[in-house]
Chain A
Protein backbone atom coordinates (compact mmCIF):
# COMPACT_ATOMS: atom_id res chain seq x y z
CA UNK A 1 0.00 0.00 0.00
CA UNK A 2 2.64 2.53 1.07
CA UNK A 3 5.10 1.56 -1.62
CA UNK A 4 2.35 1.99 -4.18
CA UNK A 5 1.64 5.39 -2.69
CA UNK A 6 5.28 6.43 -2.82
CA UNK A 7 5.57 5.32 -6.41
CA UNK A 8 2.46 7.28 -7.31
CA UNK A 9 4.09 10.41 -5.91
CA UNK A 10 6.76 10.22 -8.60
CA UNK A 11 5.68 12.48 -11.48
CA UNK A 12 6.07 9.97 -14.38
CA UNK A 13 4.10 7.26 -12.54
CA UNK A 14 1.42 9.76 -11.60
CA UNK A 15 1.25 11.06 -15.15
CA UNK A 16 0.65 7.60 -16.62
CA UNK A 17 -1.79 6.68 -13.83
CA UNK A 18 -3.82 9.87 -14.41
CA UNK A 19 -3.70 9.34 -18.17
CA UNK A 20 -5.47 6.01 -17.68
CA UNK A 21 -7.91 7.06 -14.94
CA UNK A 22 -9.05 10.54 -16.02
CA UNK A 23 -11.08 9.56 -19.11
CA UNK A 24 -13.10 7.02 -17.11
CA UNK A 25 -13.82 9.54 -14.36
CA UNK A 26 -14.84 12.13 -16.92
CA UNK A 27 -17.20 9.81 -18.80
CA UNK A 28 -18.76 8.41 -15.61
CA UNK A 29 -19.02 11.88 -14.05
CA UNK A 30 -20.68 13.50 -17.06
CA UNK A 31 -23.06 10.53 -17.46
CA UNK A 32 -24.13 10.75 -13.82
CA UNK A 33 -24.50 14.54 -13.92
CA UNK A 34 -26.50 14.28 -17.14
CA UNK A 35 -28.79 11.56 -15.81
CA UNK A 36 -29.19 13.30 -12.44
CA UNK A 37 -29.99 16.71 -13.90
CA UNK A 38 -32.32 15.23 -16.53
CA UNK A 39 -34.22 13.24 -13.90
CA UNK A 40 -34.21 16.24 -11.58
CA UNK A 41 -35.66 18.54 -14.22
CA UNK A 42 -38.12 16.22 -15.95
CA UNK A 43 -38.84 13.17 -13.79
CA UNK A 44 -38.78 14.35 -10.16
CA UNK A 45 -42.07 15.83 -8.89
CA UNK A 46 -42.40 19.54 -8.16
CA UNK A 47 -42.02 20.62 -4.54
CA UNK A 48 -45.22 21.07 -2.50
CA UNK A 49 -44.27 24.62 -1.63
CA UNK A 50 -41.68 25.95 -4.06
CA UNK A 51 -43.05 24.29 -7.18
CA UNK A 52 -40.45 24.06 -9.93
CA UNK A 53 -38.10 26.62 -8.36
CA UNK A 54 -36.63 23.91 -6.12
CA UNK A 55 -35.11 22.17 -9.15
CA UNK A 56 -32.07 24.43 -9.00
CA UNK A 57 -31.06 22.19 -6.08
CA UNK A 58 -29.70 19.70 -8.64
CA UNK A 59 -27.00 22.19 -9.54
CA UNK A 60 -26.74 24.25 -6.36
CA UNK A 61 -26.22 21.49 -3.80
CA UNK A 62 -23.55 19.56 -5.78
CA UNK A 63 -21.72 22.86 -6.46
CA UNK A 64 -21.87 23.86 -2.79
CA UNK A 65 -20.77 20.40 -1.61
CA UNK A 66 -17.84 20.46 -4.04
CA UNK A 67 -16.87 23.99 -2.98
CA UNK A 68 -16.22 22.65 0.54
CA UNK A 69 -14.81 19.25 -0.46
CA UNK A 70 -12.36 20.77 -2.95
CA UNK A 71 -11.11 23.17 -0.30
CA UNK A 72 -10.64 20.34 2.17
CA UNK A 73 -8.77 18.28 -0.44
CA UNK A 74 -6.66 21.32 -1.31
CA UNK A 75 -5.61 21.87 2.31
CA UNK A 76 -4.81 18.18 2.84
CA UNK A 77 -2.59 18.42 -0.24
CA UNK A 78 -1.17 21.61 1.27
CA UNK A 79 -0.27 19.83 4.52
CA UNK A 80 1.41 17.02 2.57
CA UNK A 81 3.28 19.56 0.43
CA UNK A 82 4.55 21.42 3.50
CA UNK A 83 5.42 18.47 5.73
CA UNK A 84 6.78 15.96 3.22
CA UNK A 85 7.83 18.48 0.55
CA UNK A 86 6.13 16.35 -2.04
CA UNK A 87 6.19 18.04 -5.45
CA UNK A 88 3.03 16.35 -6.64
CA UNK A 89 1.14 17.71 -3.61
CA UNK A 90 2.38 21.21 -4.44
CA UNK A 91 0.96 20.83 -7.93
CA UNK A 92 -2.26 19.49 -6.41
CA UNK A 93 -2.73 22.61 -4.25
CA UNK A 94 -2.31 25.18 -6.98
CA UNK A 95 -4.34 23.25 -9.56
CA UNK A 96 -7.31 22.66 -7.22
CA UNK A 97 -7.92 26.35 -6.48
CA UNK A 98 -9.44 27.45 -9.83
CA UNK A 99 -11.74 24.40 -9.87
CA UNK A 100 -12.88 25.10 -6.32
CA UNK A 101 -13.39 28.78 -7.08
CA UNK A 102 -15.60 27.83 -10.05
CA UNK A 103 -17.79 25.53 -7.95
CA UNK A 104 -18.06 28.20 -5.23
CA UNK A 105 -19.06 30.86 -7.74
CA UNK A 106 -21.63 28.47 -9.25
CA UNK A 107 -23.07 27.75 -5.80
CA UNK A 108 -23.31 31.47 -5.02
CA UNK A 109 -24.92 32.38 -8.35
CA UNK A 110 -27.45 29.53 -8.34
CA UNK A 111 -28.24 30.32 -4.70
CA UNK A 112 -28.93 33.94 -5.56
CA UNK A 113 -31.15 32.98 -8.50
CA UNK A 114 -33.11 30.71 -6.16
CA UNK A 115 -33.14 33.22 -3.30
CA UNK A 116 -34.98 35.92 -5.22
CA UNK A 117 -38.16 33.92 -5.96
CA UNK A 118 -38.05 31.91 -2.73
CA UNK A 119 -36.90 34.30 -0.02
CA UNK A 120 -37.62 37.55 -1.79
CA UNK A 121 -33.99 38.72 -1.93
CA UNK A 122 -30.95 37.82 -4.00
CA UNK A 123 -28.55 38.33 -1.14
CA UNK A 124 -28.58 38.80 2.62
CA UNK A 125 -25.58 38.95 4.94
CA UNK A 126 -26.40 35.89 6.99
CA UNK A 127 -23.71 33.53 8.29
CA UNK A 128 -24.06 30.91 5.54
CA UNK A 129 -23.96 33.28 2.59
CA UNK A 130 -21.19 35.40 4.07
CA UNK A 131 -18.95 32.44 4.94
CA UNK A 132 -19.45 30.96 1.46
CA UNK A 133 -18.41 34.31 -0.03
CA UNK A 134 -15.32 34.24 2.23
CA UNK A 135 -14.62 30.77 0.82
CA UNK A 136 -14.63 32.24 -2.70
CA UNK A 137 -12.19 34.95 -1.58
CA UNK A 138 -9.92 32.29 -0.04
CA UNK A 139 -9.81 30.45 -3.36
CA UNK A 140 -9.12 33.71 -5.20
CA UNK A 141 -6.40 34.43 -2.62
CA UNK A 142 -4.70 31.10 -3.37
CA UNK A 143 -4.91 31.79 -7.12
CA UNK A 144 -3.54 35.31 -6.67
CA UNK A 145 -0.75 34.18 -4.36
CA UNK A 146 0.30 31.59 -6.90
CA UNK A 147 0.56 34.30 -9.54
CA UNK A 148 2.58 36.55 -7.22
CA UNK A 149 5.73 34.39 -7.02
CA UNK A 150 7.96 33.60 -9.94
CA UNK A 151 9.41 30.45 -8.38
CA UNK A 152 6.76 27.69 -8.62
CA UNK A 153 7.93 25.90 -5.45
CA UNK A 154 7.88 29.05 -3.29
CA UNK A 155 4.49 29.94 -4.79
CA UNK A 156 3.07 26.49 -4.07
CA UNK A 157 4.27 26.56 -0.44
CA UNK A 158 2.78 30.01 0.13
CA UNK A 159 -0.49 28.72 -1.35
CA UNK A 160 -0.33 25.67 0.92
CA UNK A 161 -0.03 27.87 4.04
CA UNK A 162 -2.97 30.00 2.93
CA UNK A 163 -5.01 26.87 2.16
CA UNK A 164 -4.28 25.57 5.68
CA UNK A 165 -5.19 28.82 7.41
CA UNK A 166 -8.42 29.03 5.42
CA UNK A 167 -9.53 25.48 6.18
CA UNK A 168 -11.00 26.80 9.44
CA UNK A 169 -13.73 28.34 7.26
CA UNK A 170 -14.92 24.93 6.00
CA UNK A 171 -16.66 23.81 9.23
CA UNK A 172 -17.92 27.38 9.64
CA UNK A 173 -19.68 27.25 6.27
CA UNK A 174 -21.10 23.81 6.99
CA UNK A 175 -22.30 24.47 10.56
CA UNK A 176 -23.24 28.14 10.07
CA UNK A 177 -26.90 27.20 9.73
CA UNK A 178 -26.83 25.31 13.03
CA UNK A 179 -24.65 27.58 15.14
CA UNK A 180 -26.36 30.84 14.26
CA UNK A 181 -29.70 32.15 13.11
CA UNK A 182 -29.58 32.39 9.34
CA UNK A 183 -31.98 32.94 6.49
CA UNK A 184 -30.53 29.90 4.72
CA UNK A 185 -32.25 26.67 5.73
CA UNK A 186 -30.53 23.81 7.55
CA UNK A 187 -28.88 20.86 5.85
CA UNK A 188 -31.22 18.47 4.06
CA UNK A 189 -28.69 15.70 3.50
CA UNK A 190 -25.99 15.93 6.16
CA UNK A 191 -27.60 15.97 9.57
CA UNK A 192 -27.95 13.31 12.24
CA UNK A 193 -31.72 13.58 12.04
CA UNK A 194 -31.82 13.00 8.28
CA UNK A 195 -30.45 9.47 8.63
CA UNK A 196 -33.50 8.16 10.47
CA UNK A 197 -36.01 10.59 8.99
CA UNK A 198 -35.10 11.70 5.44
CA UNK A 199 -35.97 15.32 4.75
CA UNK A 200 -36.46 14.83 1.05
CA UNK A 201 -38.82 12.52 -0.80
CA UNK A 202 -36.93 9.56 -2.39
CA UNK A 203 -38.10 10.51 -5.90
CA UNK A 204 -36.41 13.92 -5.46
CA UNK A 205 -33.41 12.61 -3.56
CA UNK A 206 -32.23 10.02 -6.09
CA UNK A 207 -31.44 12.48 -8.92
CA UNK A 208 -29.71 14.75 -6.38
CA UNK A 209 -27.42 11.95 -5.19
CA UNK A 210 -26.68 11.08 -8.83
CA UNK A 211 -25.70 14.59 -9.82
CA UNK A 212 -23.63 14.93 -6.62
CA UNK A 213 -21.73 11.70 -7.24
CA UNK A 214 -21.25 12.77 -10.86
CA UNK A 215 -19.86 16.13 -9.76
CA UNK A 216 -17.27 14.45 -7.54
CA UNK A 217 -16.14 12.21 -10.40
CA UNK A 218 -16.08 15.16 -12.78
CA UNK A 219 -13.97 17.11 -10.31
CA UNK A 220 -11.62 14.12 -10.02
CA UNK A 221 -11.16 14.05 -13.79
CA UNK A 222 -10.57 17.79 -14.10
CA UNK A 223 -8.17 17.83 -11.14
CA UNK A 224 -6.14 14.92 -12.56
CA UNK A 225 -5.91 16.65 -15.96
CA UNK A 226 -4.85 19.95 -14.41
CA UNK A 227 -2.28 18.16 -12.25
CA UNK A 228 -0.92 16.38 -15.33
CA UNK A 229 -0.44 19.76 -16.99
CA UNK A 230 1.21 21.15 -13.87
CA UNK A 231 3.57 18.18 -13.66
CA UNK A 232 4.49 18.43 -17.36
CA UNK A 233 5.24 22.13 -17.02
CA UNK A 234 7.47 21.61 -14.01
CA UNK A 235 9.26 18.57 -15.37
CA UNK A 236 9.52 19.76 -18.97
CA UNK A 237 13.31 19.48 -19.00
CA UNK A 238 13.37 15.91 -17.71
CA UNK A 239 13.90 12.85 -19.81
CA UNK A 240 10.53 11.19 -19.17
CA UNK A 241 8.59 14.19 -20.47
CA UNK A 242 10.60 14.20 -23.69
CA UNK A 243 10.00 10.46 -24.03
CA UNK A 244 6.24 10.89 -23.87
CA UNK A 245 6.53 12.43 -27.30
CA UNK A 246 4.63 15.66 -26.81
CA UNK A 247 5.33 18.40 -29.34
CA UNK A 248 8.39 20.42 -28.32
CA UNK A 249 7.95 23.53 -26.20
CA UNK A 250 7.89 26.58 -28.45
CA UNK A 251 10.69 28.21 -26.45
CA UNK A 252 12.07 27.88 -23.01
CA UNK A 253 9.28 28.71 -20.61
CA UNK A 254 10.51 30.92 -17.77
CA UNK A 255 9.92 29.59 -14.27
CA UNK A 256 7.32 27.07 -15.15
CA UNK A 257 4.85 29.56 -16.52
CA UNK A 258 3.68 30.08 -20.05
CA UNK A 259 5.21 33.07 -21.79
CA UNK A 260 1.95 34.93 -22.35
CA UNK A 261 0.22 33.83 -19.21
CA UNK A 262 -1.17 37.05 -17.84
CA UNK A 263 0.12 39.40 -15.18
CA UNK A 264 3.10 38.43 -13.11
CA UNK A 265 4.53 36.01 -15.61
CA UNK A 266 7.20 38.18 -17.16
CA UNK A 267 9.74 39.51 -14.72
CA UNK A 268 13.08 41.17 -14.91
CA UNK A 269 15.82 38.57 -15.07
CA UNK A 270 13.59 35.97 -16.68
CA UNK A 271 14.92 34.49 -19.83
CA UNK A 272 12.54 35.45 -22.58
Chain B
Protein backbone atom coordinates (compact mmCIF):
# COMPACT_ATOMS: atom_id res chain seq x y z
CA UNK B 1 0.00 0.00 0.00
CA UNK B 2 1.34 3.37 -0.94
CA UNK B 3 1.66 6.21 1.53
CA UNK B 4 -1.06 8.07 -0.33
CA UNK B 5 -3.51 5.20 0.01
CA UNK B 6 -2.74 5.02 3.72
CA UNK B 7 -3.61 8.69 4.09
CA UNK B 8 -6.74 8.15 2.02
CA UNK B 9 -7.76 5.37 4.40
CA UNK B 10 -6.96 7.57 7.38
CA UNK B 11 -9.20 10.37 6.12
CA UNK B 12 -12.00 7.92 5.25
CA UNK B 13 -11.73 6.23 8.66
CA UNK B 14 -11.90 9.61 10.38
CA UNK B 15 -15.00 10.68 8.46
CA UNK B 16 -16.77 7.35 9.06
CA UNK B 17 -15.76 7.33 12.72
CA UNK B 18 -16.98 10.86 13.39
CA UNK B 19 -20.15 10.17 11.40
CA UNK B 20 -20.97 7.01 13.35
CA UNK B 21 -20.17 8.69 16.68
CA UNK B 22 -22.43 11.63 15.82
CA UNK B 23 -25.25 9.32 14.70
CA UNK B 24 -25.06 7.23 17.88
CA UNK B 25 -24.75 10.28 20.09
CA UNK B 26 -27.62 12.18 18.55
CA UNK B 27 -29.86 9.08 18.48
CA UNK B 28 -29.22 8.54 22.18
CA UNK B 29 -29.83 12.19 23.02
CA UNK B 30 -32.73 12.71 20.61
CA UNK B 31 -35.02 13.98 23.36
CA UNK B 32 -32.46 16.50 24.55
CA UNK B 33 -32.12 17.98 21.06
CA UNK B 34 -35.84 18.76 20.88
CA UNK B 35 -36.64 22.39 21.48
CA UNK B 36 -40.20 21.69 22.59
CA UNK B 37 -42.71 19.00 23.52
CA UNK B 38 -45.90 18.49 21.53
CA UNK B 39 -49.44 18.37 22.92
CA UNK B 40 -49.31 14.57 22.39
CA UNK B 41 -46.29 14.35 24.69
CA UNK B 42 -47.90 16.45 27.41
CA UNK B 43 -51.25 14.63 27.12
CA UNK B 44 -49.39 11.35 27.63
CA UNK B 45 -47.76 12.68 30.80
CA UNK B 46 -44.19 12.69 29.43
CA UNK B 47 -43.44 15.81 31.47
CA UNK B 48 -44.17 15.84 35.23
CA UNK B 49 -46.62 18.41 36.62
CA UNK B 50 -44.87 21.67 37.54
CA UNK B 51 -41.65 20.95 35.62
CA UNK B 52 -40.42 23.68 33.29
CA UNK B 53 -41.02 22.75 29.64
CA UNK B 54 -41.63 24.16 26.19
CA UNK B 55 -44.82 23.34 24.34
CA UNK B 56 -45.02 23.72 20.58
CA UNK B 57 -48.01 23.41 18.27
CA UNK B 58 -50.66 25.31 16.38
CA UNK B 59 -53.08 27.72 18.03
CA UNK B 60 -56.32 25.84 17.42
CA UNK B 61 -58.84 27.72 15.28
CA UNK B 62 -61.76 29.03 17.34
CA UNK B 63 -60.09 28.33 20.69
CA UNK B 64 -58.76 31.83 21.50
CA UNK B 65 -60.51 33.55 24.42
CA UNK B 66 -59.26 36.97 25.59
CA UNK B 67 -59.76 37.74 29.29
CA UNK B 68 -59.13 40.86 31.38
CA UNK B 69 -56.12 42.91 30.38
CA UNK B 70 -53.47 40.76 28.75
CA UNK B 71 -54.92 37.43 29.84
CA UNK B 72 -55.55 34.93 27.07
CA UNK B 73 -56.58 31.30 26.88
CA UNK B 74 -56.35 29.06 23.85
CA UNK B 75 -55.62 25.50 22.87
CA UNK B 76 -52.38 24.34 21.25
CA UNK B 77 -52.73 21.34 18.94
CA UNK B 78 -50.49 19.03 16.94
CA UNK B 79 -51.81 16.48 14.41
CA UNK B 80 -53.35 14.33 17.17
CA UNK B 81 -53.96 16.02 20.55
CA UNK B 82 -54.51 19.47 22.01
CA UNK B 83 -53.67 21.12 25.33
CA UNK B 84 -55.29 24.20 26.94
CA UNK B 85 -52.85 27.08 27.49
CA UNK B 86 -53.22 30.03 29.86
CA UNK B 87 -51.03 33.11 29.42
CA UNK B 88 -50.80 36.66 30.63
CA UNK B 89 -48.47 38.97 28.78
CA UNK B 90 -47.50 40.41 25.44
CA UNK B 91 -48.09 38.13 22.45
CA UNK B 92 -45.81 38.23 19.38
CA UNK B 93 -47.09 40.20 16.36
CA UNK B 94 -47.59 37.05 14.33
CA UNK B 95 -49.78 35.39 16.97
CA UNK B 96 -53.17 34.33 15.54
CA UNK B 97 -55.34 31.25 15.29
CA UNK B 98 -53.76 28.63 13.04
CA UNK B 99 -50.27 30.01 13.77
CA UNK B 100 -47.44 27.83 15.07
CA UNK B 101 -46.30 28.87 18.55
CA UNK B 102 -43.78 27.72 21.13
CA UNK B 103 -44.67 28.46 24.76
CA UNK B 104 -42.34 28.33 27.79
CA UNK B 105 -44.09 27.31 31.00
CA UNK B 106 -45.29 24.28 32.95
CA UNK B 107 -48.26 21.91 33.26
CA UNK B 108 -50.37 22.56 36.36
CA UNK B 109 -52.37 19.87 38.16
CA UNK B 110 -55.53 20.76 36.19
CA UNK B 111 -53.75 19.66 32.98
CA UNK B 112 -53.51 23.27 31.82
CA UNK B 113 -50.22 24.59 30.44
CA UNK B 114 -49.38 27.85 32.20
CA UNK B 115 -47.22 29.84 29.78
CA UNK B 116 -44.65 32.43 30.87
CA UNK B 117 -43.49 33.38 27.35
CA UNK B 118 -44.92 32.78 23.90
CA UNK B 119 -42.89 32.82 20.70
CA UNK B 120 -44.32 32.62 17.19
CA UNK B 121 -43.01 29.78 15.04
CA UNK B 122 -42.96 30.82 11.43
CA UNK B 123 -43.34 28.28 8.62
CA UNK B 124 -41.41 27.96 5.38
CA UNK B 125 -44.09 29.46 3.10
CA UNK B 126 -43.76 32.96 1.69
CA UNK B 127 -46.37 34.64 -0.50
CA UNK B 128 -47.87 38.06 -1.24
CA UNK B 129 -51.13 38.95 0.55
CA UNK B 130 -53.22 38.57 -2.64
CA UNK B 131 -52.11 34.95 -3.02
CA UNK B 132 -52.83 34.26 0.65
CA UNK B 133 -56.33 35.72 0.23
CA UNK B 134 -56.95 33.56 -2.81
CA UNK B 135 -55.95 30.48 -0.83
CA UNK B 136 -58.30 31.21 2.05
CA UNK B 137 -61.16 29.36 0.38
CA UNK B 138 -59.13 26.16 0.53
CA UNK B 139 -59.07 24.77 4.08
CA UNK B 140 -55.78 22.94 3.51
CA UNK B 141 -53.68 25.96 2.55
CA UNK B 142 -52.94 29.38 3.92
CA UNK B 143 -52.74 27.82 7.36
CA UNK B 144 -49.72 26.37 9.09
CA UNK B 145 -49.24 22.62 8.90
CA UNK B 146 -49.20 20.40 11.99
CA UNK B 147 -46.47 18.26 10.39
CA UNK B 148 -43.40 20.07 11.83
CA UNK B 149 -44.51 19.24 15.37
CA UNK B 150 -42.96 15.85 16.10
CA UNK B 151 -43.67 14.01 19.34
CA UNK B 152 -40.54 13.82 21.50
CA UNK B 153 -41.64 10.51 23.01
CA UNK B 154 -41.69 7.97 20.19
CA UNK B 155 -44.20 5.71 21.97
CA UNK B 156 -46.61 8.65 22.02
CA UNK B 157 -46.15 9.21 18.31
CA UNK B 158 -47.04 5.59 17.62
CA UNK B 159 -50.25 5.58 19.66
Contacts and interface: CB of A to CB of B under 8 A. Distances in A.
Contact of A181 (B19, B132, B149): B149
Nearest to B135: A48
Contacts of A79: 11
Interface string A196-223: 0001110110000000000000000000
A168 B126 contact: no
Contact of A183 (B15, B35, B38, B124): B35
Nearest to A189: B124
A30 B14 CA distance: 38
A203 B128 contact: yes
A110 interface: no
Contact of A199 (B14, B93, B124, B149): B124
A168 B119 contact: no
B25 to A, nearest CB: 10
B4 A84 contact: yes
Contacts of A187: 124
A165 B118 contact: no
A48 B132 contact: yes
Contact of B122 (A83, A118, A121): A118
A54 B93 CA distance: 13
A149 to B, nearest CB: 19
Chain A interface, >50% SS class = loop
Given A120-B118, A121-B119, A181-B38, A200 B126 contact: yes
A124 interface: yes
Contacts of A186: 123-124, 148
A188 B11 CA distance: 33
B79 interface: no
Contacts of B1: none
B131 A201 contact: yes
Chain B interface, >50% SS class = mixed
B129 interface: yes
A201 B123 contact: no
B121 A188 contact: no
Contact of B4 (A83, A119, A199): A83
B14 A164 contact: yes
Interface in A161-176: 161, 164-165, 167-168, 172
B35 A204 contact: no
Contacts of A183: 35-36, 56, 102, 119, 121
Contacts of A83: 4, 7-8, 11
B124 A126 contact: no
Contacts of A48: 127-129, 131-133
Interface in B117-156: 117-133, 148-150, 152
A179 B25 CA distance: 14
A79 B15 CA distance: 10
A200 B127 CA distance: 6
Contact of A167 (B15, B33, B56): B15
Interface of A: 45-50, 54, 57, 79, 82-84, 117-121, 124-127, 161, 164-165, 167-168, 172, 177, 179-183, 185-188, 191, 199-201, 203-204
Interface of B: 4, 7-8, 10-11, 14-15, 18-19, 22, 26, 30, 33-38, 56, 92-94, 102, 117-133, 148-150, 152
Given A183-B56, A183-B121, A185-B123, 14 more contacts: A47-B126, A83-B7, A117-B93, A118-B93, A120-B92, A120-B120, A126-B35, A168-B22, A180-B30, A180-B150, A181-B150, A183-B35, A200-B125, A204-B126
5 contacts: A46-B128, A54-B126, A117-B93, A186-B123, A199-B126
